[in-house]
């Protein structure tokens, strides 16, 4: 039995473990260790597996993750969410489905200081859903827009998933984060247009909210300044090259921390934010370590190179092959969480995509958009479970019913990215030319 066959058997074994419910981190670490030992012996295999947590855990680029995660939790505990939603409600409430539209833009704004999709969904399930139900919005629409809006945190910087993609494929974290800005805005606009179209066809789904004067709208603007300032600090510092992504995250965390203190944050609240940040950081780091052991095994088995050669040899246009790859992600996302799916597939899929001639920055945004889709697709649909957990009065089945139209919107968005890749690549390319 040669190395390639061992790699295929190991991949099949890993899929079986994941399907029976073994956590991705343990399944990957176990299969990776066994595969390495089989190919290069106990001493070499165990030595390789044992060195990975230290070697990869000390990568400077990974330090950006706790910084970005901390920004989100501090912003939530500082009360920035309510003021953001209030402003969006007063500016967009008058359009058909106005509160749902306001929720989309408020989640997009919070995503720019959060970086965590589930956290964004949990926050707005508490803030936006009660307001929409008070105005007789459809419960399925209210829950669906919060679950879908939360996914915007995967694209809009600071995004933890984009950082993980950059580390795995060894791309520029700064360029990837900057590249996610315009696609994130495009996704939010398509969500908003979909809601308006649905509410125009069925006004009972989401009636407009009127009665706000221009004076009310202008008074709500100052409440958004803290979020806008943090967005400006993070984006502008990375775009101009003034700071590294880690430094931008540290500066952003400090700014939000100062604003939280000014807003009256107590010690217990700060302690809670720090503990939540630590828990999520440890979870992500553990997942990275386990999957990278499996990735090392894949490298020895030469599975990524063989897969890339096979994909390139297929008698189809590159765009057809890319669509098939994206469909594969849709199916896989029904059974795996976004980060685990990304870590597991990229070592094999990425070389094939590059061999087809696609831009690595473009593919990073597209594959992360696919991770967004997987956050709202059954049966896993993590954001849907989060919303149902926060709002037990809305059954999970109703939440999944509500995200149906937003899945269609995501398909349209992906079509835009495939047809006009410049939507993704223009800003990072401009960044290189200018700086």
Per-residue pLDDT of the chain (435 residues; tens, 9 = 90+): 777 788 888 888 887 887 787 777 788 888 888 888 888 888 888 888 888 777 766 777 677 778 877 887 787 777 777 788 888 888 988 889 889 999 999 888 888 777 677 778 888 888 888 889 888 888 899 999 998 988 888 888 777 788 888 888 878 888 888 888 899 999 999 999 999 999 999 888 888 888 788 888 888 888 788 778 887 887 777 777 777 777 888 888 888 888 888 777 788 878 888 888 888 778 777 777 787 788 788 778 877 677 667 777 777 888 888 888 888 887 777 666 677 777 777 878 888 888 888 899 999 999 988 887 877 877 667 788 888 888 888 888 888 888 888 989 998 999 999 999 999 988 888 765 544
| SS3 state of residue 375 | coil
Measured distance CA(125)–CA(201) in Å, rounded: 25
CB within 8 Å of 22: residues ≥ 6 apart:
none
pLDDT score of 194: 93
The DSSP symbol for 224 reads G
pLDDT score of 71: 80
pLDDT score of 380: 67
Measured distance CA(277)–CA(284) in Å, rounded: 11
Cα 108 to chain centroid distance, Å, stands at: 12
Q: Scanning the structure block, which residue is given the tokens 């029976």?
A: 20
Q: CA angle, 15 as apex, 11 and 20 as ends, to 5°?
A: 150
CA quadruple 213, 214, 218, 223: dihedral, nearest 10: 30
Name which of 91, 184, 125, 84 is nearest 402 in CA terms.
Answer: 125
pLDDT score of 379: 65
pLDDT score of 434: 47
Name which of 293, 391, 380 is nearest 332 in CA terms.
Answer: 380
Give the other-Cβ count within 10 Å of 189's Cβ.
15
Whether the CB-CB separation of 8 and 303 falls below 8 Å is answered with yes
**Gyration radius of the chain over CA positions:** 22
**Where are the alpha helices (H) located in 333-381, listed in sequence order?**
338-355, 360-374
**Residue 304 zone, left/alpha/beta (φ > 0; ψ -120 to 50; rest):** alpha
pLDDT score of 203: 85
User: Which pTM does this prediction carry?
Assistant: 0.82
pLDDT score of 191: 94
Q: CA angle, 256 as apex, 251 and 261 as ends, to 5°?
A: 125
CB within 8 Å of 268: residues ≥ 6 apart:
none
pLDDT score of 300: 80
């Amino acid at each position: 039995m040669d190395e390639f066959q061992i790699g295929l058997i190991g991949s099949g074994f890993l899929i079986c473990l994941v399907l029976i419910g073994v956590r991705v981190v343990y399944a990957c670490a176990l299969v990776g260790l066994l595969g390495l030992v089989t190919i290069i012996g106990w001493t070499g295999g165990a030595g390789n597996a044992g060195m990975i947590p230290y070697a990869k855990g000390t990568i400077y680029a990974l330090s950006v993750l706790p910084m970005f995660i901390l920004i989100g939790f501090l912003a939530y505990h500082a009360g920035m969410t309510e003021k953001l939603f209030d402003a969006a409600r007063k500016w967009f409430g008058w359009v058909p489905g106005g509160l749902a539209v306001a929720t989309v833009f408020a989640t997009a704004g919070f995503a720019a200081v959060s970086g965590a999709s589930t956290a964004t969904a949990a926050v707005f399930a508490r803030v936006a859903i009660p307001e929409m139900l008070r105005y007789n919005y459809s419960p399925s629409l209210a829950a669906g827009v919060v679950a879908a809006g939360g996914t915007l945190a995967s694209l809009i910087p600071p995004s933890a998933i984009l950082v993980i993609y950059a580390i795995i494929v060894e791309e520029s974290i700064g360029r990837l984060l900057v590249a996610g800005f315009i696609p994130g805005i495009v996704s939010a606009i398509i969500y908003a247009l979909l809601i308006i179209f649905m509410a125009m066809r069925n006004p009972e789904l989401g009636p407009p909210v009127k009665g706000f004067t221009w004076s009310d709208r202008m008074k709500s603007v100052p409440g958004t300044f803290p979020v806008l300032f943090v967005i400006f600090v993070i984006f502008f510092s990375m775009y101009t090259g003034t700071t590294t992504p880690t430094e931008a995250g540290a500066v952003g965390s400090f700014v939000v921390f100062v604003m939280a203190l000014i807003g009256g944050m107590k010690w217990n609240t700060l302690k809670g934010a720090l503990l939540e940040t630590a828990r999520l950081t440890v979870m992500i780091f553990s997942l990275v370590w386990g999957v990278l052991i499996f990735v090392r095994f894949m490298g020895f088995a030469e599975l990524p190179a063989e897969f890339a050669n096979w994909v390139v040899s297929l008698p189809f246009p590159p765009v057809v092959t890319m669509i098939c790859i994206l469909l594969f992600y849709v199916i896989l996302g029904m059974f795996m969480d976004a980060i685990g799916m990304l870590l597991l597939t990229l070592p094999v899929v990425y070389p094939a995509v590059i061999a087809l001639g696609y831009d690595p920055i473009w593919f990073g945004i597209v594959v992360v958009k696919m991770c967004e889709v997987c956050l709202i697709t059954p049966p896993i649909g993590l954001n849907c479970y989060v919303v149902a957990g926060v709002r037990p009065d809305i059954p999970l089945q109703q939440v999944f019913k509500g995200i149906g139209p937003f899945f269609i919107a995501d398909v349209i968005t992906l079509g835009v990215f495939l047809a006009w890749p410049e939507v993704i690549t223009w800003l990072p390319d401009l960044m290189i030319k200018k700086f």
